[in-house]
Structure 1
Amino acid sequence: MPLPATEIDTAALPVLCVDLDGTLVKSDTLHDSALAVARHHPLALLKIPSWLLQGKAALKRHLAATVQLDVAHLPYNRELLQYLQQQHATGRPIYLATAADADTAHRVAAHLGLFTGVLASDGQLNLAGKNKLAAFRSRFGDNFTYIGNAMPDLTLLESCKEPMVANPTPSLRAALRKARVTPARTFDETVSPLKAWPKAIRLHQWAKNVLIFLPLLLAHNWTPGILAGATVAFLSFGLCASATYIVNDLLDLEADRQHPRKRRRPFASGDLSALSGIAVIVLFLTTSLALAIIVPLVISAISPDASLVRPHHFLLWLGIYLVTTLAYSLRLKRSVLVDVIVLSGLYTIRIIAGSAATGIPVSTWLAGFSIFFFLSLAFVKRFAELENLSERGGSTVGGRGYHVSDIEQLRSFGTASGYASVVVLTLYISNLDAAQLYHHTNRLWLLVPVLLLWISRLWFIASRGQLDEDPVVYAITDRRSLFMGLLVVLVVLSAL
Structure 2
Amino acid sequence: MAETIAILHCRPGTAAFSDVTPLATLSRLFNFIDVAIVRFRSIVRSLSKERLFMYGIQGRVLEAPPPLVVDLDGTLLRSDLLFETAVAFIRHHPLQVFRLFAWLFQGKAALKQQLALATPIDVAWLPYNAHVIDYIKAERLTGRLIILATAAHGSIAERIAQHLQLFDQVWASDGATNLSAHRKRDLLVSHYGEGGFDYMGNSRDDLCVWAASRNAIIARPLAGVERQARAQGNVAQVIDSTNHPWRDWRKALRLHQWLKNALLFVPLMAAHQVQQSQQLLDGLWAFLCFGLCASSVYVLNDLLDLADDRQHRSKRERPFASGQLPIRAGLIAVPLLLIVAFAGAAALLPWQFSAVLAAYYLLTLVYSLYLKRHMAVDVIVLAMLYTTRILAGAAAFQLPLTFWILAFSMFLFLSLALVKRYAELRDARLREVDSKTRGRGYYPGDLDMIASLGASSGNLSVMVLALYIHEGTTVALYEHPHVIWLACPLLLFWITRVWMLTHRGMMNEDPVVFALRDRVSQGVGALFLLVFWIAA
TM-score w.r.t. structure 2 length?
0.85
Partner in structure 1 of residue 293 of structure 2:
240
What is the 5 A alignment of 1:4-403? 12-141=64-193, 142-181=195-234, 183-188=235-240, 190-221=242-273, 222-296=275-349, 311-395=350-434, 396-403=436-443
Partner in structure 2 of residue 428 of structure 1:
468
Q: Could you say what secondary structure the match of 1:214 adopts? A: helix
Separation (CA, whole Å) in 2 of partners of 1:346 and 1:72: 35
Separation (CA, whole Å) in 2 of partners of 1:43 and 1:352: 30
Post-superposition offset of 1:455: 1.0
Separation (CA, whole Å) in 1 of partners of 2:338 and 2:161: 40
Post-superposition offset of 1:432: 4.0
Residues 247-278 of structure 1: per-residue CA shift (max 9 Å, x gap): 11111111111111111111111111122112
Separation (CA, whole Å) in 2 of partners of 1:324 and 1:136: 50
Partner in structure 2 of residue 490 of structure 1:
530
Work out whether residues 146 and 164 of structure 1, in 8 Å CA contact, stay in contact via their aligned partners in 2.
yes
Separation (CA, whole Å) in 2 of partners of 1:47 and 1:431: 57
Partner in structure 2 of residue 450 of structure 1:
490
Structure ID, larger Rg:
2
Partner in structure 1 of residue 459 of structure 2:
419
After superposition, the Cα gap between the structure-2 partners of 1:364 and 1:42, relative to the gap in structure 1 and judged at 3 Å, is: closer
Compare 59-68 and 183-192 and name the one that shifted more: 183-192
Q: Which amino acid aligns with 1:223?
A: Q
Work out whether residues 18 and 96 of structure 1, in 8 Å CA contact, stay in contact via their aligned partners in 2.
yes
Q: Which amino acid aligns with 2:535?
A: A
Work out whether residues 74 and 220 of structure 2, in 8 Å CA contact, stay in contact via their aligned partners in 1.
yes
Separation (CA, whole Å) in 1 of partners of 2:144 and 2:481: 80
Residues 141-167 of structure 1: per-residue CA shift (max 9 Å, x gap): 232111100000001112212211111
Separation (CA, whole Å) in 2 of partners of 1:457 and 1:109: 51
Work out whether residues 260 and 513 of structure 2, in 8 Å CA contact, stay in contact via their aligned partners in 1.
no
Separation (CA, whole Å) in 2 of partners of 1:210 and 1:477: 12
- Relative CO higher for 1 or 2, CA cutoff 8 Å, sep ≥ 6? 1
Q: Could you say what secondary structure the match of 1:170 adopts? A: coil
Separation (CA, whole Å) in 2 of partners of 1:185 and 1:260: 33
Residues 164-221 of structure 1: per-residue CA shift (max 9 Å, x gap): 111101231231243344x222112644111011111111111111111110111111
Separation (CA, whole Å) in 2 of partners of 1:159 and 1:337: 59
Q: Which amino acid aligns with 1:446?
A: L
Partner in structure 2 of residue 301 of structure 1:
none
Post-superposition offset of 1:463: 1.4
Separation (CA, whole Å) in 2 of partners of 1:283 and 1:484: 39
Post-superposition offset of 1:232: 1.4
Q: Which amino acid aligns with 2:519?
A: R
Separation (CA, whole Å) in 2 of partners of 1:377 and 1:199: 22
Q: Which runs of 5+ in 1 are unaligned?
A: 1-5, 297-310
Post-superposition offset of 1:469: 4.9
Work out whether residues 203 and 221 of structure 2, in 8 Å CA contact, stay in contact via their aligned partners in 1.
yes
Work out whether residues 199 and 217 of structure 2, in 8 Å CA contact, stay in contact via their aligned partners in 1.
yes
Q: Which amino acid aligns with 2:386?
A: Y
Separation (CA, whole Å) in 1 of partners of 2:314 and 2:239: 24
CA RMSD of aligned residues (A): 1.9
Partner in structure 1 of residue 21 of structure 2:
none
Separation (CA, whole Å) in 2 of partners of 1:482 and 1:203: 20
Q: Which amino acid aligns with 1:135?
A: L
TM-score w.r.t. structure 1 length?
0.92
Post-superposition offset of 1:431: 3.5
The number of residues matched between the two structures is 475
Q: Could you say what secondary structure the match of 1:205 adopts? A: helix
Work out whether residues 68 and 104 of structure 1, in 8 Å CA contact, stay in contact via their aligned partners in 2.
no
Work out whether residues 259 and 513 of structure 2, in 8 Å CA contact, stay in contact via their aligned partners in 1.
no
Percent of residue pairs bearing the same amino acid type: 46
After superposition, the Cα gap between the structure-2 partners of 1:107 and 1:190, relative to the gap in structure 1 and judged at 3 Å, is: farther
Post-superposition offset of 1:228: 1.8
Residues 99-119 of structure 1: per-residue CA shift (max 9 Å, x gap): 000011011111111111111
Separation (CA, whole Å) in 1 of partners of 2:481 and 2:142: 79
Residues 316-368 of structure 1: per-residue CA shift (max 9 Å, x gap): 11111111011101111111111111100011111111111111111111111
Q: Establish whether residue 471 from structure 1 lines up as the match of residue 511 from structure 2.
A: yes
After superposition, the Cα gap between the structure-2 partners of 1:274 and 1:408, relative to the gap in structure 1 and judged at 3 Å, is: same
Q: Could you say what secondary structure the match of 1:184 adopts? A: strand
Work out whether residues 60 and 123 of structure 1, in 8 Å CA contact, stay in contact via their aligned partners in 2.
yes
Work out whether residues 376 and 414 of structure 1, in 8 Å CA contact, stay in contact via their aligned partners in 2.
yes
Work out whether residues 382 and 469 of structure 1, in 8 Å CA contact, stay in contact via their aligned partners in 2.
no
Separation (CA, whole Å) in 1 of partners of 2:175 and 2:210: 25
Separation (CA, whole Å) in 2 of partners of 1:472 and 1:92: 55
Separation (CA, whole Å) in 2 of partners of 1:97 and 1:269: 23
Compare 52-61 and 97-106 and name the one that shifted more: 52-61
